[in-house]
Amino acid sequence: MYVRTALAALLLAPLVAVAQQSPASSAAPARDCGVCPEMAQVPPGQFRMGSAADAPELDRATGESPSVAISFTRPFLVSRREITVGEFRRYVEATGAEPAPGCRVRLGGEWVEERDRGWRDPGFAQPPRDDEPVVCVNWEDARAYAEWLSQQSGQRYRLPSEAEWEYAARGGTSFPRFWGEADSREDQALSLACDHANVYDASAVDTLRLPWPNARCNDRAPLLAPVAQYRPNAFGLFDVIGNAREWVMDCYTGSYLGRPEDGRAWTWQGGCERRGVRGGSWASRPRDARAPARGSELAGHRQSDLGFRVARDF
């Protein structure tokens, strides 16, 4: 039922134009290699990146408005799920590229830098499961993993651009959340977010006691959840909102002024200190768990709600 609903939204959305495909052309391809993640094909199309000036949940401080028109003339691929602990472990074992210890974790009601924490032990009550998103990885850890996939597969893996990420996260709709236009705002008495995403919800209030509003539903996961436990969007992407925040390729900018209109990552020679972060996490208030919501972190930052997914050209 939810697939039919998402497809209906795709056809009705006024601000997104997606090329029609046959069922065969939209099917996810096989993995490129034995250690490669399953990828979803995202069709070409156009969309408005960001939010309108009168959007109810607009965060003006992050530069998500004014919005810009972005056009994708070719399809691209995005991993259906966030990269998992098990997938990242295979990379570390194959390369010996163990990330340095140290991660910012939730402890005693606040975020604290813990020198002995890391992707193998991100500070939760139980050790991370192989099917949970890998967290406590910085931007360079994520980029190096994508480079390793490229070597293993002969394809060019990378982090998604910020524009690719938002377009894919919307799932063919113009909505801030792919499952509904205004459903999961903070002023809603009830929310459908918990059918589709792991966010800061009623199940997490007693555990986390965060100083911001929670989604008014129960997603059954106060912290990280295994990947693909919630409903995907119409492009077949799981957990694109919530669970773990996700690194993108772009250098972070305070506005969209000057952004490439073809969806390429916005970077510059010599690199940058801050990189874009998208999607919200298990600790995110409803306003921050939206497709157009923007964030950033220092490229060397590691945190127990921050992971990634990968992309590649079609």
Lowest mean pLDDT of 187-196, 204-213, 273-282, 287-296, name the range: 187-196
Evaluate whether 245 touches 265 at the Cβ level (below 8 Å): no
Query: In whole numbers, what is the pLDDT of the chain averaged over residues?
Result: 91
90: exposed, middle or buried (Cβ count in 10 Å: 0-12, 13-18, 19+)? middle
Q: In whole angstroms, what is the distance from residue 254 CA to residue 276 CA? A: 11
- Please report which confidence band the pLDDT of residue 29 belongs to, taking 50, 70 and 90 as the band edges: low
Average pLDDT score over residue span 148-177: 97
Number of domains composing the chain: 1
SS3 14: coil
Domain coverage including residue 289: 2-313
Residue 79's alpha-carbon distances to 38, 146, 257, 309, in angstroms, are: 6, 11, 28, 6
CA 44-55-203 angle, 5° bins = 90
Residue 239 and residue 229: Cα distance in Å, rounded?
8
CA angle 181, 199, 221 (to 5 degrees): 135
Q: What is the pLDDT of residues 45-103, one digit of tens each?
A: 999 999 999 999 999 999 999 999 999 999 999 999 999 999 999 999 999 999 999 99
CB 278 within 8 A of CB 295: yes
Rg of the chain in Å (alpha carbons)? 18
Return the pLDDT at 186. Answer: 87
d(C-alpha 178, C-alpha 287), whole Å: 14
Q: Which residue has the higher pLDDT, 139 or 7?
A: 139
Distance CA 185, CA 289 (A): 9
The DSSP symbol for 121 reads B
pLDDT over 60 at 9, yes or no: no
Average pLDDT over residues 248-257: 96
Best-predicted range by mean pLDDT (21-25, 188-192, 273-277): 273-277
> Which CATH number do you get for residue 43?
3.90.1580.10
At residue 157, φ and ψ (nearest 5 deg) are -90, 155
Taking 90 as the threshold, does the pLDDT of residue 291 lie above it? yes
pLDDT at 221 over 60: yes
Look at residue 254 and tell me whether its pLDDT is greater than 50.
Answer: yes
Which tens digits make up the pLDDT trace of 292-309? Answer: 999 999 999 999 999 999
Question: In the structure, what pLDDT confidence band is assigned to residue 142 with cuts at 50, 70 and 90?
Answer: very high
Q: How confident is the model at residue 218 (pLDDT cuts 50, 70, 90)?
A: very high
Report how far apart the first and last C-alpha atoms of the chain are (Å, whole number). 29
**Model confidence band, residue 35 (pLDDT cutoffs 50, 70, 90):** very high
Comparing CA positions, the residue from 180, 153, 141, 178 lying closest to residue 297 is 141
What is the model's pLDDT at position 22? 33
Buried b (16+ CB within 10 A) or exposed e, 6-21: beebbeebeebebeee
| Confidence bin at 28 (pLDDT 50/70/90) | very low
Q: Is the pLDDT of residue 121 over 60?
A: yes
Question: Helix, strand, coil % (nearest 5) of the chain?
Answer: 20, 20, 60
